[in-house]
Amino acid sequence: MTTSLAWQRRRGTVARFWRQYRTHRAGLHGLAGLALIALLALAAPLLVGADVQSVTNAPGRALESPSATFPLGTDQFGRSLLGLLVWGARISLLVGLLAAALSVAIGTLVGIVAGHYGGWFSTVVMRVTDWFLVMPALVLAIVLATVMSRSMWTVILAIGVTSWPTTARLVRAQTIAVESRPYIERATALGGGHGHIMSWHVLPNVMPLVLAQTTLGISTAILTEATLAFLGLGDPTVVSWGGMLQDAREAGAVSSGHWWYLAPPGIAIALVALAFTLCGRAIESVLNPKLGVGR
Amino acid sequence: MVMVTKVPPRPVAPRRLLRLLLAAGVTATTMVAVPQAAQAVPSAEGDAKAGSGTTLTVAVSQSVDSLSPFLAQKLVSTSIHRLAYEYLTNYDAKDAKPIPGLATEWKSSPDKLTWTYTIRTDSKWSDGKQATAEDAAWTFNKMMTDENAATANGSFTSNFKKVTAPDPRTLVIQLKKPQATMTALDVPIVPKHVWEKVGDFSKFNNDKQFPIVGNGPFVITDFKVDQYIKLKPNKNFWRGAPKFDELVFKYYKDGDAAVAALQKGEVSFVPNLTPAQAAALKTAENIKVNDAPGRRFFALATNPGARAKDGKAFGNGHKALLDPAVRKALFLAVDRTTIVDKVFQGHAVEGEGYIPPRFGAYFWKPGAGQKLGYDPVKAEQLLDQAGYRKNGDGKRVGKDGRPLDFRILCHATDPNDKAVGKYLQEWWGKLGIGLKVECLDNVGDPWTKGDYDLAFDGWSVNPDPDYVLSIHTCGTLPATPKDTGATDNFICDRQFDALYARQSVEYDAAKRADLVKQMQSRLYDTGYMNIMAYPNALEAYRTDQIRSITTMPEAAGNLYGQDGYWSWWSAVPAASASDGSDGGSSTGVIVGIGAAVVVVAGLGIFLGMRRRSTADDRE
Amino acid sequence: MTTASTPADVARTAPVRATDGASRTGTTVAYLRYVAGKLGGAAVSLLAVLVTSFFLFRIIPGDPVKAMTHGVPTSAEQLATLRRQFGLDLPMWQQFTDYCGKALSGDLGMSYQFRAPVGELIATKLPATLLLTGVAVLLYSALGLWLGTRSAWNHGGLGDKLNTGVALTLWSVPSFWLGLLLIIVFSVGIGPIPGLFPTGGMESGTGETGFAYVLDVAHHMVLPVLTLVAVGYAQTLLVMRSSLLDEMGGDYLTTARAKGLRDDVVRRRHAVPNALLPTVTMVFINLGHVAAGSILVETVFSWPGLGGLFYQALSVPDLPLVQGLFVVFAGAMILMNLIADLLYPLLDPRVGR
């Protein structure tokens, strides 16, 4: 009985959220863009097939300019760049999602625990967080990516481990705010343990914030993935947008004037990052109209 | 934002602070700019003449590690030392055979243990003093007695017993045991009267006092880390002064930026082009692309079971690779033609023996019966016969049940490694063999620990092949598993070692070359190394700045990183070379003014905004 | 800078941090105590950075000696000599105590590959980085402030939407990619566009002096600064815009207007100064990123600064140099955060002094 009530309340919250989100035009555009790109990425096996990655069966000659057969030209192995771009969306989105999820998960855990327990424990945890905050994130990510062997998981880990402190700070502040509400006291009085309070009362209340953080984090993660790939720290055996930019550069596409090799992956990265940012900002302003971002 | 509550403004104090901060910022910026401008003055004095002269600018992508010949190890630094100092001998531009350098002639004693060099009388240091045998003796003795001075080139003197200069024209080197490389001592001879004042050789970089005293075709006159190295011709150089009035090595971190600079005429020469860049430059006006046989080999190395001199085995190389049939099958499934065509876009030569064909005297290729050509069908048969059957998933499994899944070490900074890795994955995948391409910045670590199955390997070969052969002898294995040896790939083969020992004491060129060829044949048959290609040297220069230039080998050779100083010494400026650069810099100044205006305007807007609001306060 | 955090991140965290602890205190004593606390915290952070940088880089795989001699004929004796010269033959704890002792006296050790004191190397490269990123941060802060203010004035209007739209789009662009495109278009030249700007480096090296040299450097700076500004100004714009919007909703503005003050005067005298607070804090945090922030742009434009040096050092790994650079990068952040923390209560009008 109580659970169904809770469910009803949650459903109501979601519906209210969506009604407000709909009023943000930019947010809707972002969402539409995301849906389109996600669809493309999911349908990639049907649209282009895993064979686009094959170098031994490459259909074209090296670095062909755009034509009817290859709308975006070919890379140095003679593979279709359009196919690679579509295929690359899978890795770029996957890395972005997983890295942001990892980062937000760490941040939320640290934030809730620090906010809930308080005292010297919180001080120590927040000191560590501060330490990560003053570390230049990109520098730290570069170091991590250098330390481990080149793989997609390395990149995800490097991004996730270096970008969580902001989330931790925000979640901690929110946790403290939530726990000062009377019903938490009531829950404690009724014998709710630490774990119960954190997972049943605090977590649902910080979830919206976490959602906004994740959405914004994905666009940062996608940009960082491209950056690491550009610096030669990506996984050379998978096709991602950042990796394509790096391939283009290594092939000397910039100075030989093959702009069609360089331009599309960059535009794709920018569009996806923009779409996630727009969504994130819309979510944020729904949750906290005072922020004024969406007005 | 959430926490900033609204309160009535008290704006004055923050304003004042802001202004101060801003002023500090602007000053800081100016202060940064000024000392640099001031720094430029002394170097510019040396260039006073350069404005009207001809400048040859070479784009380099490598940082200079040190200008001290005792420390420098990077190619860019050693190439510059070739220009600034004479070595005892040089290499002929035609065929890389030893020719006179600081020494005019040399001979060995009948017991092969004493070498006597005659030092030329027409070589002067750039400060006017005569270069003598005493300078050479001092240089070698320093390297033999001070381990810090042996940092870079110690391998050349490790077999020296005693070096003396009985008179200014005679240098005598006594050896512990015979050494065939005595006409290939790539050691810059430095002026004793300058260098004997140096205290700690491990800390002296030779980059504080310019010009640097030397006796090569050029004199180093200026150096800024990661920006440029400038050299002036040595007018008294015994072989004749270089024709350009100035030689500048300019640093470009990014290869594309260097090529763009070449297209604009900012630099005269760019090495290490990619195939795409070469293709684009071929059609450009006033630019010549030089596609020359290279001195590198690009190879596959398999872990032969790493071990140390004390006999202990270490590392985690795949056991199946100890089976010659597996290695043979792997090499048979490599299509070298495709690698040359697709990865190098035709700018490479198919690999055969260990030493590239450029060094004709030592070049060897496998005979018809010996050669492992591209034959995937035969590779399948070999694996089947050797008992590596395909399982249900199409994967080959050994008798021990372990699947043939290999790792290959790849240099993350080398695009060719990554590209060939893709092809190998697919070719070997068809055989049922898995391959994981492990790209690292530093492959050295797993490599020296023996933690690899296969690796991309490559060496730049010198005219004297002794070193690249020595790294496959048992003597270079690490003493214990904890040590590091000079060994390349842990190969230790008695037959190869015996041949190596014979060639290293063989003073007869033809006989030695024959031994070297036998060594390559043996190396090929052991099947631990397989040469896939010899990449070409792809480089380009501006014909409106350089009229002619000598390649090495002269017939069809490269320009950058030659064994001698032929390219830059021989380069003749084109008629239009001197005015071209002047025009560039004057438009540069105009655009520069525009740029400065933009920067100042930006700051102005900011200041203006602040000013306006302060004015409002006063109303 | 571009990858560190989203504009929204900075916008939200900066004030939170800055007001921690001191916002409600009103006396000089309290402020001094606050200062002492912040100074202590910064000192602890710096110490932590010093210690961690030693161990952080020891876990990088790769034998520096082997990497440096890669492809160079080297005998086992030479390898041993190099190891001895670098102190790599000593046990780890001894290397660590040596490092700590030296670091505390300001000596960051000798670079392996350049054979020069790390401090000296950093000092020669620092001006170039400070110049490039310093100018860029000042410019994009100014641009962001200006556009952010304008956006907030007529928020909801077409100008505002265009403004934020363009800023967000540029922010989403990878900075290195933008830099490469700028090189193609404005350095190499496409079609009718001539190659106006140099492709890289900081100076032509043709011996300009005095004013001509300053111009030459400015000429080389245009494209990298443009890249950094384009990618960076969105942050300032968004923070300025939203905090100004916050201010404009305030009751006191209504009061001021009711007193008969002109609209633009109200805004300029009352709203902007208050809204500047979080923005200024952010400018300082951005300045903290200055040292590390331009790794990408420095790579693309061959700018002879710290970013390139770091990348070079890391690939060896040239341990003393990476350690030193890391300390400098993190030190700059700590310093600028400290300045922002110390200034905030001073700038904050709520603190009566």
Domain that holds residue C63: 7-347
The pLDDT, as a whole number, for residue B43 is 36
* B341 pLDDT more than 70: yes
Find chains touching chain A: ≥3 CB pairs under 8 Å: B, C
* B600 pLDDT more than 70: no
Tell which B residues from 364 to 423 touch A, by Cβ distance under 8 Å: 410, 412-413, 415, 418-419, 421-423
Nearest CB to B592; choose among C135, C216, C347: C216
Choice between C351 and A220, residue whose per-residue pLDDT is larger: A220
Burial category of C24 from C-beta neighbours within 10 Å (exposed 0-12, middle 13-18, buried 19 and up): exposed
The pLDDT, as a whole number, for residue B325 is 94
Three-state secondary structure readout of chain A: CHHHHHHHHHHHHHHHHHHHHCCCHHHHHHHHHHHHHHHHHHHHHHHCCHHHHCCCCCCCCCCCCCCCCCCCCECCCCCEHHHHHHHHHHHHHHHHHHHHHHHHHHHHHHHHHHHHHCHHHHHHHHHHHHHHHHCCHHHHHHHHHHHCCCCHHHHHHHHHHHCCHHHHHHHHHHHHHHHCCHHHHHHHHCCCCHHHHHHHHHHHHHHHHHHHHHHHHHHHHHHHHHHHHHCCCCCCCCCCHHHHHHHHHHCCCCCCCCHHHHHHHHHHHHHHHHHHHHHHHHHHHHHCHHHCCCC
Q: Look at residue C353 and tell me if it is in a domain.
A: no
Tens of pLDDT along B223-260? 988 889 999 999 999 999 999 999 999 988 888 888 98
Q: Percent of chain C, pLDDT > 90?
A: 11
Range from A166-180, B120-134, C140-154 that averages highest in pLDDT: B120-134
> Poorest-confidence range of B155-164, B177-186, B297-306, B482-491?
B482-491
Indicate yes or no: CB of A146 within 8 angstroms of CB of C326.
no
On whether any CB of chain B is under 8 Å from the CB of A65, the answer is no
> Poorest-confidence range of B48-52, B103-107, B144-148, B603-607?
B48-52
At residue C15 the predicted structure's pLDDT band, cuts being 50, 70 and 90, is very low
From chain C, the residues in CB contact with B438 under 8 A are none
Tens of pLDDT along A218-242? 999 999 999 888 888 888 888 899 9
Q: Look at residue C343 and tell me if it is in a domain.
A: yes
* C257 pLDDT more than 80: no
* C206 pLDDT more than 90: no
The pLDDT, as a whole number, for residue C25 is 45
pLDDT average, residue stretch B151-159? 89
Indicate yes or no: CB of A292 within 8 angstroms of CB of C17.
no
Task: Provide the shortest C-alpha distance from residue B413 to chain A (in Å).
Answer: 7
* C254 pLDDT more than 80: no
The pLDDT, as a whole number, for residue C292 is 66
Q: Which residue of B has its CA nearest to A261?
A: B276
Tens of pLDDT along A43-70? 988 888 878 888 888 888 888 889 988 9
Q: Look at residue C23 and tell me if it is in a domain.
A: yes
Nearest CB to B274; choose among A78, A251, A257: A251
pLDDT average, residue stretch C23-36? 72
On whether any CB of chain A is under 8 Å from the CB of B5, the answer is no
Choice between A111 and C31, residue whose per-residue pLDDT is larger: A111
Indicate yes or no: CB of A237 within 8 angstroms of CB of B419.
no
The pLDDT, as a whole number, for residue C286 is 79
Tell which A residues from 84 to 113 touch B, by Cβ distance under 8 Å: none
pLDDT average, residue stretch C38-64? 81
pTM across the whole model: 0.83
Choice between A166 and B493, residue whose per-residue pLDDT is larger: B493
Q: Look at residue C2 and tell me if it is in a domain.
A: no
The pLDDT, as a whole number, for residue C348 is 64
At residue C62 the predicted structure's pLDDT band, cuts being 50, 70 and 90, is low
Indicate yes or no: CB of A281 within 8 angstroms of CB of C171.
no
* B517 pLDDT more than 80: yes
Tens of pLDDT along B198-227? 989 988 999 989 999 999 999 999 998 888
Q: Which of A24, A28, A138, A210 to mutate to test the interface with C (most CBs of C within 10 A)?
A: A138
pLDDT average, residue stretch B79-107? 93
> Poorest-confidence range of B367-381, B535-549, C143-157, C267-281?
C267-281
Burial category of B236 from C-beta neighbours within 10 Å (exposed 0-12, middle 13-18, buried 19 and up): middle
Nearest CB to B412; choose among A150, A253, A255: A150
Indicate yes or no: CB of C6 within 8 angstroms of CB of A137.
no
At residue B46 the predicted structure's pLDDT band, cuts being 50, 70 and 90, is very low
Give the separation between CA C79 and CA C89, rounded to whole angstroms.
Answer: 11
Tell which B residues from 242 to 271 touch A, by Cβ distance under 8 Å: 255-260, 263
From chain A, the residues in CB contact with C337 under 8 A are 134
Task: Provide the shortest C-alpha distance from residue C5 to chain B (in Å).
Answer: 16
Task: Provide the shortest C-alpha distance from residue A264 to chain B (in Å).
Answer: 19
Tens of pLDDT along C158-204? 889 899 999 999 999 999 899 988 888 888 777 777 778 887 778 87
Give the separation between CA A138 and CA A227, rounded to whole angstroms.
Answer: 9
Indicate yes or no: CB of A217 within 8 angstroms of CB of C289.
no
Q: Look at residue C147 and tell me if it is in a domain.
A: yes
Task: Provide the shortest C-alpha distance from residue A106 to chain C (in Å).
Answer: 16
Q: Look at residue C1 and tell me if it is in a domain.
A: no
The pLDDT, as a whole number, for residue B399 is 83
From chain C, the residues in CB contact with A127 under 8 A are 44
Q: Which of C2, C6, C155 to mutate to test the interface with A (most CBs of A within 10 A)?
A: C6
C4, containing H or E segment: none
DSSP 8-state secondary structure symbol assigned to residue C234: H
CATH code: domain of residue C206: 1.10.3720.10
The pLDDT, as a whole number, for residue C20 is 41
Q: Look at residue C352 and tell me if it is in a domain.
A: no
Q: Look at residue C176 and tell me if it is in a domain.
A: yes
Q: Percent of chain A, pLDDT > 90?
A: 29
Count of structural domains within chain C: 1
On whether any CB of chain B is under 8 Å from the CB of A50, the answer is no
Rounded mean pLDDT of chain B?
A: 84
From chain B, the residues in CB contact with A256 under 8 A are 259, 274, 276-277, 279-281
At residue C110 the predicted structure's pLDDT band, cuts being 50, 70 and 90, is confident
DSSP B72-135: --SHHHHHHHHHHS--SEEE-TTT--EEESSEEEEEE-TTS-EEEEEEPSS-B-TTSPBP-HHH
Q: Are strands B269-270 and B537-542 parallel, antiparallel or unpaired?
A: antiparallel
Spell out, as residue ranges, where chain A has pLDDT lower than 70: 1-4, 289-295
Nearest CB to C8; choose among A224, A271, A281: A281
Q: Which residue of A has its CA nearest to B281?
A: A256
Query: Which contacts (CB < 8 Å, 24+ apart) does range C246-250 have?
Result: C246/A290, C246/A292, C246/B1, C246/B4, C246/B6, C246/C275, C247/B6, C247/C271, C247/C272, C247/C274, C247/C275, C248/C152, C249/B6, C250/B6
A–C CB contacts, 8 A cutoff, strictly below: 158
